C-alpha cells in the first residue's frame, strides 16, 4: 500500500539556519503531496501542497518540490524562526485517504 | 467561524471502560474523518463518514471500535473495553466533500491506565 517516510527527528536548529526535512513516498501512480504543520496544543494545518510532478508548493517561506524521479517531496526553508518550532508531517492523498509520515519535531533556538 | 471542535481534549480511562470521543465539524462540512496517532508514529486513517453513513472504515480495528455521524449532532468515535494499547491521540478532520482539503481538530488524547 501507499506509504510516506520522513527523516527521523527531532531536529534542533538555531534561528536563521537553513532547514531541510526529507520526505519520500511509495504509491501507485502520482498522488498529490502535502506538508502539514502542528503547533503545540493545536490540530494539523495544511502548510503547502503539490498536485503533480515538478510542481513546487510554497507558503510562509517554506517550499517543497514534487520529484517523481526520486519519489521525494523535501521541505525547505532558507531562514527559520523560533515561531517555526512545531511538528511537521509529510502526507499523500491515495485511495481517497490521507497517508501520513511519522512526523518530524522541529525546535528552533534563538 | 469556528473550526473543528473535539472534546474532551484529554480523557483518562481505566482498562475495561468505554471511551467516547466527540467531533463537531466546521460549519457547512458534512464529511468527517478520524485518525489515530500512536506514540512516536504518524497519523493513521481510521474511518470516513458522511452524515448518517460510514463510507470507508478500512482503518478501524475490527473489534471494540465504532463510529457514527448522525443527522444532528457531532460525530462520535466509541471505544469499548479500552486496553492500554488504545492510548493515543485521536484526531478528527472535516471537509465539504471527499477531498484532501481537510480541516483538523486539536485532537483528544486518550490515556488508558
Q: Work out the minimum CA distance from A93 to partner chain B, whole angstroms.
A: 6
Is residue B4 within 8 Å of B26, Cβ to Cβ? yes
Label residue B42 by pLDDT band (50, 70, 90): confident
Residue of A nearest to B41 (CA): A102
pLDDT tens digit sequence for A54-95: 999 999 999 999 999 999 999 999 999 999 999 999 999 988
- Beta-ladder partners of B31: B50, B95
Q: Say if B88 is an interface residue toward chain A (CB within 8 Å).
A: no
A103: left (phi > 0), else alpha (psi -120 to 50), else beta? left
The pLDDT, as a whole number, for residue B14 is 98
Residue of A nearest to B101 (CA): A46
A1: which residues sit within 8 A by CB, 6+ positions away? A95, A99
What the block records as the C-alpha cell of B61 is: 480495528
The pLDDT, as a whole number, for residue B97 is 82
Q: Work out the minimum CA distance from A91 to partner chain B, whole angstroms.
A: 10
Question: Which own/partner pairs from B98-104 qualify as long-range (CB within 8 Å, at least 24 positions apart)?
Answer: B98/A96, B98/B31, B98/B48, B98/B55, B99/B31, B100/A32, B100/A34, B100/A49, B100/A93, B100/A98, B101/A46, B102/A98, B102/B33, B103/A43, B103/B3, B103/B4, B103/B26, B103/B29, B104/A36, B104/A43, B104/A44, B104/A45, B104/B4
Chain A partners of B100 at a C-beta cutoff of 8 Å? 32, 34, 49, 93, 98
Q: Write down the mean pLDDT value for chain B.
A: 93
Map grid coordinates 523535501 to a residue.
A74
Pairing label, strands A62-65, A75-77: antiparallel
The pLDDT, as a whole number, for residue B1 is 52
Partner-chain residue, chosen from A34, A96, A102, that has the shortest CB–CB distance to B98: A96
Residue A42, pLDDT above cutoff 90: no
Amino acid at each position: 500500500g501507499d506509504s510516506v517516510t520522513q527523516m527521523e527527528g527531532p531536529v534542533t536548529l538555531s534561528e536563521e539556519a537553513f532547514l531541510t526535512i526529507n520526505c519520500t513516498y511509495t504509491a501507485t501512480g502520482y498522488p498529490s503531496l502535502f506538508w502539514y504543520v502542528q503547533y503545540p496544543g493545536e490540530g494539523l494545518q495544511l502548510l503547502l501542497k503539490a498536485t503533480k510532478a515538478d510542481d513546487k508548493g510554497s507558503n510562509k517561506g517554506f517550499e517543497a518540490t514534487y520529484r517523481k524521479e526520486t519519489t521525494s517531496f523535501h521541505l525547505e526553508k532558507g531562514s527559520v524562526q523560533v515561531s517555526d518550532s512545531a511538528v511537521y508531517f509529510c502526507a499523500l492523498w491515495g485511495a481517497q485517504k490521507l497517508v501520513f509520515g511519522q512526523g518530524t519535531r522541529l525546535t528552533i533556538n534563538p | 467561524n469556528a473550526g473543528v471542535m473535539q472534546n474532551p481534549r484529554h480523557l483518562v480511562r481505566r482498562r475495561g471502560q468505554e471511551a467516547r470521543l466527540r467531533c463537531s465539524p466546521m460549519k457547512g462540512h458534512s464529511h468527517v474523518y478520524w485518525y489515530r496517532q500512536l506514540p512516536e508514529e504518524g497519523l493513521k486513517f481510521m474511518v470516513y463518514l458522511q452524515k448518517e453513513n460510514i463510507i470507508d472504515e478500512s482503518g478501524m480495528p475490527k473489534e471494540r471500535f465504532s463510529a457514527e455521524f448522525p443527522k444532528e449532532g457531532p460525530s462520535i468515535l466509541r471505544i469499548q473495553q479500552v486496553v492500554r494499547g488504545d492510548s493515543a491521540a485521536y484526531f478528527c478532520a472535516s471537509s465539504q466533500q471527499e477531498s484532501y482539503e481537510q480541516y483538523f481538530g486539536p485532537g483528544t488524547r486518550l490515556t488508558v491506565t
